[in-house]
Structures are given as structure tokens and as C-alpha cells.
């Protein structure tokens, strides 16, 4: 049984590592995966696990962008160090909206929004939004092409768009990248800023879920701890590959394919669960 749970953890880590960075909703995919692959863990542990597994994905961002995010490296001159500090301040500003709303509504959203209907609707709605925005901006030269050119107002507005991702099925990277494009930020810069914004956001969410789990009074078993560690490690390794691939992809291509994927998946999810409810 232990080996089987570890294999399941590997699968969850792969899904998290792929979908966290692509604009297709990692939470939505994790909810769907749980429908078909059940981890033998307590409900309290699983609620924590599906968020804390993101720590592996965060580690991938830190590894890949360590130089760009490090204001102390001697390889940067004074102006470059100032630009790095400014980037961090903009990220902090952008985190504030979702941090406030997330803290206030976390329990309510867990109770009311984590279901297949919400996931299916948001998958389709934001899939259509991606197709619309890409069509609208076709041939346009967006004014902001690097993360350093993003000003504080734009950073705050991107952070406001990130609040949409608190709804399962929306996609954190999808909402922030979509918002960035609407605000005149290029796809590459928008994706990069989304990655940087993810680190404090996901660290905060993970810390909140860990605290709730510890306060619940439920103890994690040895198997559960192993599942969490394996899930995080796999998520990290897969995230490294996916982030590199996505950055190369957005330099040359649009997000239309993700829009089509979201619409198809959302429709499939809705049909599957309707049929399931009719036959049970």
C-alpha cells in the first residue's frame, strides 16, 4: 500500500508541476485528478496537501530566476541592483489584493467553490477570454516588454486580476497573464511577472494551510509525510521543465491553444459529472 500511495503522489506531483505554470488551472486539475485517483489520507491532510505541494513549484522559480531575483549578487551593477529591488517591491504590491481577499474568504471558498460546476464554468469562461484577448491584440506591439518596465500601478492591477484565481478552475498564472496582456504587457514579460508573483502568493497560501492543519489536531502519518515530500520533489522537477518550455513557447506563439484546451476540458468535465449524477 505504501508503494501505491507513493506512485499516486508522483502522479499528483506531475499534474501540479505541469498545470501550475500553464494557464489551465492547477487547482481545477487537482480536483479532477482526485475524482479518479484517491489518496488514502485524511480529509484534513488532503486539504493541506493540494496547496502545500506547490512548494516544489515555487522552488523551481527560485532556481531558474535566482540571478534575476537576487539583488545582492556582485555580478550586477548598482543600477541593476536597484531595478531588482524595485521589481521585488512591485511584486509585494501585486500580492496584497489576493492576500487580503484570500485570508478573509479562504474557508468560505473551500466550502462553496471547490466543486465540478465551478471548475467547468471557469475553465470555459477563461478559455473564451484567452481567445478573445489574443484576437484583440493580434498584430499589436504591446508597450511593456520586460518585467522591469512594469510600473507600480500595472503591478497592482495584475495583482487584482490574481484575485480571480481564488475561484477554482480559473488558473493563477492564467488570470495574471491575461490581466497583464489586457494592461499592455507582452506575453513573455507577463508570464515572467506571473512566476515571480507566484512565489510569495503560494508561500502564504501554503503557510495558511499548514497552520490550519496543525490547529486541526490531526497528526500526519508516516505515509502521509512521504506522500507530501515525494509530491513536492516531483512538482519541482516537472516545474523546471515546464517553466523553461513555456518561456520559450510564449516568445514565438500565442495562448490560443490553451484557450481551446480549457473550453474542451470544461465541456468534458461538465458532461462527465452530469452523466455520473444521473447514473448514481
Contact 94, 156 (CB under 8 A): yes
Q: Would you place residue 91 in the very low, low, confident or very high pLDDT band (cuts 50, 70, 90)? A: very high
Report DSSP state, residue 143: S
Mean pLDDT value of segment 60-88? 93
Summarised one tens digit per residue, pLDDT across range 105-127 is 878 887 888 788 888 899 999 99
Considering only CA atoms, give the Rg of the chain: 19
pLDDT for the residue numbered 94: 95
Cell numbers that stand for 88 in this block: 521585488
Q: Would you place residue 95 in the very low, low, confident or very high pLDDT band (cuts 50, 70, 90)? A: very high
Cell numbers that stand for 216 in this block: 486541526
Contact 159, 98 (CB under 8 A): yes
Q: Would you place residue 62 in the very low, low, confident or very high pLDDT band (cuts 50, 70, 90)? A: very high
The mean of the pLDDT values for the chain is 90
Summarised one tens digit per residue, pLDDT across range 20-32 is 999 998 877 887 8
Instruction: Kindly give, in sequence order, each residue whose CB lies less than 8 Å from that of residue 188, ignoring residues fewer than 6 positions away.
Output: 145, 247, 250, 251
Q: Would you place residue 1 in the very low, low, confident or very high pLDDT band (cuts 50, 70, 90)? A: confident
**Tally of domains within the chain:** 1
**Sign of the CA dihedral with 97 first, then 200, 15, and 38 last:** negative
In 3D, which of 26, 10, 84 has the Cα closest to residue 202? Answer: 26
Dihedral angle over CA of 13, 60, 177, 24, nearest 10 = -10
Q: Would you place residue 252 in the very low, low, confident or very high pLDDT band (cuts 50, 70, 90)? A: confident
Tell me the percentage of the chain whose pLDDT exceeds 90.
56
pLDDT for the residue numbered 14: 97
> Distance between CA 148 and CA 90 in Å, rounded?
9
pLDDT for the residue numbered 89: 96
> Distance between CA 121 and CA 80 in Å, rounded?
43
Mean pLDDT value of segment 51-73? 92
In 3D, which of 133, 130, 119, 129 has the Cα closest to residue 170? Answer: 119
Look up the domain containing 68 and give its range.
Answer: 2-279
Prediction pTM value: 0.88
In this predicted structure, the answer to whether residue 140 has a pLDDT above a threshold of 90 is: no
Q: Would you place residue 49 in the very low, low, confident or very high pLDDT band (cuts 50, 70, 90)? A: very high
Tell me what percent of the chain is helix, strand and coil, each rounded to the nearest 5.
80, 0, 20
**Whole-angstrom distance between the N-terminal and C-terminal Cα of the chain?**
28
In this predicted structure, the answer to whether residue 263 has a pLDDT above a threshold of 90 is: yes
Own/partner contacts of 271-279, CB < 8 Å, gap of 24 or more, are 273/116, 273/117, 273/120
Summarised one tens digit per residue, pLDDT across range 156-201 is 999 999 999 888 888 888 899 989 989 999 888 999 999 999 888 8
Q: Which residue has the cell 500553464?
A: 22
Amino acid at each position: 500500500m505504501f508503494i501505491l500511495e507513493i506512485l499516486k503522489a508522483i502522479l499528483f506531483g506531475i499534474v501540479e508541476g505541469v498545470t501550475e505554470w500553464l494557464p489551465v488551472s492547477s487547482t481545477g486539475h487537482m480536483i479532477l485528478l482526485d475524482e479518479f485517483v484517491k489518496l488514502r489520507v485524511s480529509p484534513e491532510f488532503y486539504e493541506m496537501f493540494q496547496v502545500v505541494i506547490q512548494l516544489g513549484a515555487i522552488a523551481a522559480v527560485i532556481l531558474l530566476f535566482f540571478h534575476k531575483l537576487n539583488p545582492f549578487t556582485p555580478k550586477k551593477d548598482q543600477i541593476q541592483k536597484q531595478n531588482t529591488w524595485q521589481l521585488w517591491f512591485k511584486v509585494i504590491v501585486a500580492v496584497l489584493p489576493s492576500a487580503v481577499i484570500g485570508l478573509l474568504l479562504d474557508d468560505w471558498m473551500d466550502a462553496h467553490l471547490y466543486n465540478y460546476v465551478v471548475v467547468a464554468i471557469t475553465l470555459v469562461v477563461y478559455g473564451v477570454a484567452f481567445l478573445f484577448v489574443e484576437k484583440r491584440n493580434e498584430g499589436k506591439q504591446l508597450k511593456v516588454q520586460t518585467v522591469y518596465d512594469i510600473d507600480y500601478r500595472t503591478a497592482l492591477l495584475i495583482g487584482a486580476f490574481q484575485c480571480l484565481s481564488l475561484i477554482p478552475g480559473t488558473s493563477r498564472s492564467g488570470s495574471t497573464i491575461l490581466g497583464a496582456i489586457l494592461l499592455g504587457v507582452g506575453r513573455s514579460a507577463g508570464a515572467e511577472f506571473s512566476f515571480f508573483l507566484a512565489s510569495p502568493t503560494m508561500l502564504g497560501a501554503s503557510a495558511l494551510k499548514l497552520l490550519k492543519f496543525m490547529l486541526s489536531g490531526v497528526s500526519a502519518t508516516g505515509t502521509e509525510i512521504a506522500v507530501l515530500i515525494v509530491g513536492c520533489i516531483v512538482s519541482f522537477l516537472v516545474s523546471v521543465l515546464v517553466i523553461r518550455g513555456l518561456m520559450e513557447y510564449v516568445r514565438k506563439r500565442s495562448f490560443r491553444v490553451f484557450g481551446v484546451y480549457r473550453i474542451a476540458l470544461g465541456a468534458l468535465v461538465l458532461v462527465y459529472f452530469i452523466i455520473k449524477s444521473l447514473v448514481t
